[in-house]
Amino acid sequence: MITDEDKERVRQATDFMQLVSETVELRRRGADWWGCCPFHHEKSPSFHINPATGLWKCFGCGLGGDVFGYVMHRENLEFPDAIRFLADRAGIELVEERGGRRGPKRNRLIECLTEAESFYATMLNRGKGAGPEQGRRYLAGRGFGSAVCRRWRLGYAPGHAMLVDHLASKGFTTQEMEAADLAVRRDSYSGGQGSYEADRFYDRVMFPIHDEQGRTIAFGGRVMGDAKPKYLNTKETAVFHKGKHLFAFDRAKEHIAARGEAIVCEGYTDVMALHEAGYPIAVAALGTSFSIDHVRTLSRFAKRIICMFDGDAAGQRAAERAIQFLDKSEADLRCVVLPDNQDPAEFLDTHRASDLEPILADAEPLMDFVLRKRLEGVGPTTPAGVRTSLLNEIARVLAPLKQSVLLDEYTHVVGDWLGFPAQTVRRAIQSAPVDAAGGAYAGARPSSPARGGNPANRGRPNAQGWSDGQARYPEETGVYVPDDYLPPEAGADAYGSVEPSRGQVYSAGPGPDVLGVDELRQVQAERELLCLMATYPDLMRTHAERIASILWADAQNEAIAWSILATPEGTAPADVVAAASAVVPDAPQVLAAGRIASESGASDEAKAAFVLDTVELYSTRRKIQDLRARMRSGANPSQNLFYEATELQKHANELTNRISSGFIR
């Protein structure tokens, strides 16, 4: 429990004006200070502080209170945690910490870590022998000369208990060294009895990590050879929490506040290279994923957070994990991948620092980046099995946003891109799992014994006509035709089984692909068209140009159509079927599935016109979906695409009117 005495000590130790000035530009007006409220958007200052009373009030949104209330709102903390936050800033140890903890005091740990930083720096700058010299060569090779090393307080850890001995000579106990994760107890060599105290870090260049106030709280050690692990970081301690602290944040926060922008990198040397090149707004996570606490910390100062992830699979996973924070911060989260997948240090080594400015200005919204990378090379015309598999993977990525108001927008984007109804996308997301940490299952869909096989072969037919590793039953795909996506269609009854039962899982085509309702109907309409082509080959040959323009929903149907059109004029229907069977063995079953040719009493021309109009309508709708997806991606001039989509929509309306007026029985 926090005592009233500690609460007052923290209040007295906090410079309220300085605290507020970190994120609010204040101007004096009489005895008070005024600025734009940090808790709501406004152009005219209505937020004011009375230095005499230590109280604040915003006349715009109505919020107000003392320094603790301000921190509660700014940091999204409960009252006791707000006191602890300010106590940590001021270096005050609360009574509750002394009473509930048996370990050393926090200030002793920080003093111990600060002395270790000084020792490591001395070893790097003045140390003799192969180790320090190798450390200096390694850092110089990364572009960090002696002046940079001194500025960043870089060091070298020699090991051999040299740090333990040094800290002991300064009066620090082994308990304090272990609590700061600077020393570890090891068993004696040669099977002897007892144990000894050893340095935690050895034969590594050392990067000191500071808290927001610039106090030393941890280290990152980088090996210079091929030993593993490459980076060794301080474990969680009483003063260091990986998920909350950021490398170089103490140096960057004022620059971030001034520019309103922060860059998040993946490595210490990347951050240093950016700072040295004139971008002192860079920070890095510390041996852990970018977390919500990191986002909240940066959001206090930055309106725009640019994640500069690597362009490899690890960078993609990092970006996918970060999207779970999109609805938890007002900051604009964006992403940049540097040319040729270079990291920032590599880029700055081969380019001018000014070359980075336009890249940062064009940073892509984080969600756009994630979806673009996932959906590259895929569209509504991609085979349905591939799209279904990809939808399930994307659903896992978006699962943390199930309750977000942003979800509607993303379901439409994914639906347009993949050619699925937005309701289907939403249902897939709602049924997707979320991991224990609240993040997405980034990466490919996990394999299961039921599927088996090589994921790389998923979507390719094997000897049995099924895709290797793909579900043999629609239920396994987890994508459903939703109850509320069954619009009435003119002529639907003419195709018999086209209309799905509400809420039923459906598959269509040569494999177990789960399709959208339009595609289901198009597949069936295509089979009616093929039946007409086999029954009246010479009549349908006169419509060859229209048939050639169709965007087929089923590649097998398309192959049958071209095999029929390739037969000479005058070929008998039985010979047409034989020609199709030579190309597609299942052609007889497909060509026998049509009902209109045999059951309708309309003329042959009327049947042909109706079925062609229907297939072309669904085909045109899918072409429009494809154009919408391309317009969203920004990959082509949107004006031309918009014109093309408008013309296609007009044609779709004409087809709909013709089908409605020409409905046959």
Euclidean distance between CA atoms 465 and 288, whole angstroms: 44
Give whichever of 354-358, 363-367, 411-415, 456-460 has the largest mean pLDDT. Answer: 354-358
Euclidean distance between CA atoms 383 and 378, whole angstroms: 9
pLDDT at 637 (0 to 100): 54
496 Cβ neighbours under 8 A, 6+ residues apart:
524, 595
Q: Is the pLDDT of residue 642 over 80?
A: no
Q: Is the pLDDT of residue 442 over 60?
A: no
Euclidean distance between CA atoms 520 and 529, whole angstroms: 14
Residue carrying the six token digits 């002991």: 168
Tell whether omega for the bond before 573 is within 30 degrees of 0, i.e. cis.
no
Could you tell me which residue, 447 or 128, shows the higher pLDDT? 128
418 close to 387: Cβ distance less than 8 angstroms: yes
For the domain covering 246-370, report its CATH number.
3.40.1360.10
Band the pLDDT of 417: cuts 50, 70, 90.
confident
Give 549-578 pLDDT, tens digit per residue: 998 888 889 999 999 999 999 999 888 998
Band the pLDDT of 114: cuts 50, 70, 90.
very high
- For 487, other C-beta atoms within 10 Å of its C-beta total 9
Band the pLDDT of 663: cuts 50, 70, 90.
low
The DSSP symbol for 129 reads S
pLDDT at 488 (0 to 100): 31
pLDDT at 344 (0 to 100): 92
Q: Is the pLDDT of residue 647 over 70?
A: yes
Band the pLDDT of 191: cuts 50, 70, 90.
low
pTM of the model: 0.64
For the domain covering 106-233, report its CATH number.
3.90.980.10
How does the average pLDDT of the chain come out, rounded? Answer: 80
Percent of the chain scored above 70 by pLDDT?
82
pLDDT at 644 (0 to 100): 83
Euclidean distance between CA atoms 547 and 570, whole angstroms: 19
pLDDT at 629 (0 to 100): 72
Q: Is the pLDDT of residue 147 over 80?
A: yes
**CA distances (Å), origin 350, targets 37, 149, 345:** 43, 21, 9
Burial class (CB in 10 A: 0-12, 13-18, 19+), 514: buried
Euclidean distance between CA atoms 557 and 522, whole angstroms: 11
Give 47-98 pLDDT, tens digit per residue: 999 888 888 999 989 999 999 999 888 877 788 888 888 888 887 878 765 5
Band the pLDDT of 643: cuts 50, 70, 90.
confident
Q: Is the pLDDT of residue 538 over 80?
A: yes
pLDDT at 594 (0 to 100): 81
pLDDT at 632 (0 to 100): 67
Q: Pick the range with the lowest mean pLDDT from 98-102, 462-466, 551-555, 583-587.
A: 462-466
Band the pLDDT of 662: cuts 50, 70, 90.
low
Q: Is the pLDDT of residue 385 over 80?
A: no
Q: Which one-letter amino acid corresponds to residue 313? A: A
Q: Is the pLDDT of residue 447 over 70?
A: no
Give 296-348 pLDDT, tens digit per residue: 889 888 999 999 987 667 777 888 888 888 887 778 999 998 988 888 999 99
pLDDT at 193 (0 to 100): 61
For the domain covering 4-100, report its CATH number.
3.90.580.10
251 close to 280: Cβ distance less than 8 angstroms: yes
pLDDT at 93 (0 to 100): 78
Quick one: CA torsion of 51, 52, 58, 59, rounded to 10 degrees? -130
Percent of the chain scored above 90 by pLDDT?
35
Q: Is the pLDDT of residue 245 over 80?
A: yes
Band the pLDDT of 489: cuts 50, 70, 90.
very low
Please count the CA atoms within 13 angstroms of the CA of 302 that sit on its side-chain side: 27
Quote the tokens at residue 383.
């085979």
Band the pLDDT of 474: cuts 50, 70, 90.
very low
pLDDT at 291 (0 to 100): 83
Q: Is the pLDDT of residue 397 over 70?
A: yes
Helix axes 384-398, 422-431, angle to 10 degrees: 50
Give 405-415 pLDDT, tens digit per residue: 888 888 888 88
Q: Pairing between strand 27-29 and 32-35?
A: antiparallel
